[in-house]
Amino acid sequence: MTLIEAGLGEKVIITKVRGRGAFRKRITEMGFVVGKEVTVVKKAPLQDPVEYNILGYNVSLRNSEARLIEVDLPADHIYPVDKNYSGTFQEESEGQQNVQKGKIIHVALVGNPNSGKTTLFNYASGSRERVGNYSGVTVDAKEAHFRLNDYEFVITDLPGTYSITAYTPEELYVRDFINNNLPDVVVNVVDASNLERNLYLTTQLIDMDIQLIVALNMYDELQKSGDKLDTKHLGEMLGFPFVPTVAARGKGINDLFTRIINVYEGRDQTSRHIHINYGKTIEQSINAIQKKLNTPANADFLTTISSRFLSIKLLEKDQHARNLVRSFANSDEIMEVSQSEILRIETDQRDDSETLVTDAKYGFIAGALAETLKVNPYTQRKKSEIIDTFITHKIWGIPIFIFLMWATFYGTFKLGKYPMLGIEWLVQQISIQLQTMIPAGMFRDLLIQGIIGGVGGVIIFLPNIVLLYLFISLMEDSGYMARAVFIMDKLMHKIGLHGKSFIPLVMGFGCNVPAILSTRVIESKRDRIITMLINPFMSCSARLPVYILFISAFFQNYQGTILFGMYSIGIMLAIGSALLFRRTLFRKKDVPFVMELPPYRVPTVKSVVRHMWHRAGQYLRKVGGVILIASVIIWALGYFPHKLPNEHMFTTNLQEIKAKYTALRSSSSNSSSEDNLQKTNETNEITTVNLAMQAELQKNSYIGQIGHIIEPVMRPLGFDWKMSVAVLTGLSAKEVVVGTLGILYQANEKGQHDDQTLIKRLKTQRYVYGSKAGQTVFTPLIALSFMLFILIYFPCIGVISAISRESGSWKWAMFVVVYTTVLAYLASLTLFQVGSLIL
């Protein structure tokens, strides 16, 4: 039978793993090897993928992959004697401990995704890197410095990876970093509650012949489970120390770095140079390949990479290793011997050489743990499984997911409303005080209309930004985000994407730039590029101020629903675009879905607050940087040349109005009511002239000239020239759109700047000349058209740069520019024109 035939809750034993290439390699590294027990935990709401438990952790597989794994029921399975574990053997050290060493220690942190590696990095170094309870948070190396006991530590936090087989960009990056930078000590951070799975990476690091320490992180979870681990004996067996830590609370961190110093100085009694014994057949092949590698002509290449590690990788058919060997002097001989040894092994063992090496590693791990780990015979049902009973339920799973998404946006709006009003009041008071304190003139206009009008209009939305990141952080840190991937995988598969694409898409709600960087967790280049191309449709936090501005002004009764709708439209556009790209630009079949489902954890207040503070700081830096500069530039373009070609006409008109009403008052004795009526009429006529004069000033300003050039193109969408200019300035950063509107829509009915909020100004804004004179500039339909355009069109410069860098080509970045802008125009055009016909 195959794994797909096993029923819910059923335990089976793996007897064979079929398939080839990427799937077979990845699946065996995740622990799906012959003889391992697998439990069927739960099916996704759409019945695909399925959650399985193996080696003490949960992982999800699609049904198509589960069909390639043959299994037996435990009662029918004959357990073979494990011949893979042959212990270790030791080589003489090269006497490096006698070398005089400096006081700077370079440390690299390596570990599985979700092992707490970045948490340890943050605590030890005082850094503020993002931490999340799902795979692939760290997408690049982060470096920090700190001092301890007269030593300076240079710590590098490398991307999380399950192995270093060059299967994904992270794996290759970690491998190359260790080989090229040669850190003094590599700290392998492992999840102490999932040792058998985590130690697979450790076996590969052993092969690399490096100074190694294992940080047994989340050691408190192992203790709570009732399991007991003899860390001292395990370290003595494997030749490097194991140090228990609880990075989230800072426990064991000082002990870890004290041990690093001892290993670095050669004083640690546990450290010794060992190799994993892969058994007679494989060891014979390793030795044969090493003989061809270890020639004087190749000495330069082997100064940074272990010949044993390279030999093992050649036996595993590692493409990166093969490419490296092509640079060797005797590359043809090396490749010939490696191919010959692979054929000999596979003929002798009747199995793929990659799988045999993986089986040997897991056999080594099982043997080491059998002597050092005592498992609690009484195992309770994991809390994560209990929670998943409801969260990933086949009926309630998707509704719960949709509700949580809606609650995120509703809470962002409703809870953010009150602090937003407070900041809005403060901005108004500052504006009023400056207006009374500073004499009229260009400087006052710059402060009030340019800086306060532009920056103040953006900064009031800071509470909403912080709240959005609060909700995202809670979902990430708790482990729910990985469940969302599990729930949505079948739908993602339908549109031709990997389930892991869901994480970068959700991250896009925060900021599209790190979301695009996080696509590195996706193994398939095809899926990575498609995910990058559709990520800009995810409404980032920079668009949120635009939505809140127009929703607050025109949709007061449906605020949360309209906001949820805008995000939903972005999601639907992303899905539609992915389907289009899959059928046109990318027709290659997608890769297997294998993803770990981490246990649920209660998010720490420190982690959540750190994330919110970090994002708030980023937002404020943007406000004080690009938005401030853009606001000043936009104000200057709107202020200058500050003269009217036909100013005498307005002056004459005003004089005529005043003269007319003066004459009326002096020539007749009106009643008080008639006198008041004349004063009102006079005020209205003067107001009309002032508004026309103010409009003419803006029209003749530099930004007015630019706006009127592009207005004919944007008019079919319902946009006036000011909205058109705001769209243009939003190319640098979407928050600048609000700042631009704040500067351009500042005239009250007297043609002067007032202290009204931007929301009120948009609601009362009217055309003052032309065929639309007297009509309101904004309607709910125009507001929807404008928000839709902002949602879809040209992502900011930072996103374009990230797409270019991550895809490796400017062509995809330029494609996004053209595709999104054309799509935005067509969508807004259709909405406004059809809406106008209906309404």
Query: What is the SS3 string spanning 195-231?
Result: HHHHHHHHHHHHHCCCCEEEEEECHHHHHHCCCEECH
Residue range 529-551: average pLDDT? Answer: 88
pLDDT at 521: 65
Torsion of CA 827, 832, 833, 837, to 10 degrees: 140
Per-residue HEC secondary structure of 776-816 comes to ECCCHHHHHHHHHHHHHCCCCHHHHHHHHHHHCCHHHHHHH
With bands split at pLDDT 50, 70 and 90, how would you rate the model's confidence at 88? low
Q: Which residue has the higher pLDDT, 812 or 514?
A: 812
Using the structure block, give the residue that is written with the tokens 């004290």: 258
Which of the residue ranges 110-124, 239-253, 632-646, 667-681 has the most confident prediction, judged by mean pLDDT?
239-253
pLDDT surpasses 60 at 132: no
What is the CA 825 to chain-centroid distance, rounded?
28
Using the structure block, give the residue that is written with the tokens 């057949």: 281
DSSP string, 548-564: HHHHHHH-GGGHHHHHH
Alpha-carbon distance of 192 to 223, in angstroms, equals 9
Q: Residue 703 phi/psi, 5° resolution? A: -70, -30
∠ at Cα 288 (287, 292), nearest 5°? Answer: 110
pLDDT surpasses 60 at 748: no
Q: Strand runs (DSSP E) across 294-442, as ranges?
A: 373-374
pLDDT surpasses 70 at 69: yes
The tens digit of pLDDT for each residue in 162-212 reads 888 756 677 888 888 888 888 999 999 999 988 888 899 999 999 988 899
Q: Which residue has the higher pLDDT, 520 or 652?
A: 652
Count how many Cα atoms sit within 13 Å of the Cα of residue 219 in the half-sphere of its side chain: 21
Task: Give me 456's structure tokens.
Answer: 């103040």
DSSP strand pairing (11-17 vs 69-72) = antiparallel
Contact between residue 758 and residue 745 where contact means Cβ atoms under 8 Å apart:
yes
User: Which of 132-146, 270-284, 443-457, 754-768 shows the lowest per-residue confidence on average (mean pLDDT)?
Assistant: 132-146
The helix or strand, by DSSP H or E, that contains position 665, with its residue range, turns out to be: helix 647-667
Contact between residue 791 and residue 517 where contact means Cβ atoms under 8 Å apart:
no
3-state helix, strand, coil in the chain (%, to 5): 60, 10, 30
pLDDT at 59: 82
With bands split at pLDDT 50, 70 and 90, how would you rate the model's confidence at 17? confident
The helix or strand, by DSSP H or E, that contains position 690, with its residue range, turns out to be: helix 672-700
Write the CB contacts of 279 (distance below 8 Å, at least 6 apart in sequence).
83, 84, 86, 360
With bands split at pLDDT 50, 70 and 90, how would you rate the model's confidence at 81? very low
Q: What pTM does this model have? A: 0.62
Q: Which residue has the higher pLDDT, 557 or 381?
A: 557
User: Which of 394-403, 536-545, 562-571, 692-701 shows the lowest per-residue confidence on average (mean pLDDT)?
Assistant: 692-701
The tens digit of pLDDT for each residue in 569-587 reads 998 898 889 889 888 887 6
Residue range 757-769: average pLDDT? Answer: 78
The tens digit of pLDDT for each residue in 722-735 reads 889 888 888 777 87
pLDDT surpasses 80 at 474: yes
The tens digit of pLDDT for each residue in 280-317 reads 889 999 999 999 998 888 887 887 788 899 999 999 88
Residue range 620-629: average pLDDT? Answer: 75
Task: Give me 151's structure tokens.
Answer: 């030593």
Q: Which residue has the higher pLDDT, 796 or 20?
A: 796
With bands split at pLDDT 50, 70 and 90, how would you rate the model's confidence at 351? confident
The tens digit of pLDDT for each residue in 767-794 reads 766 677 778 888 999 999 999 999 999 8
Mean pLDDT (the chain) is 81
List beta partners, residue 597: 58
pLDDT surpasses 60 at 592: no
pLDDT surpasses 60 at 750: no
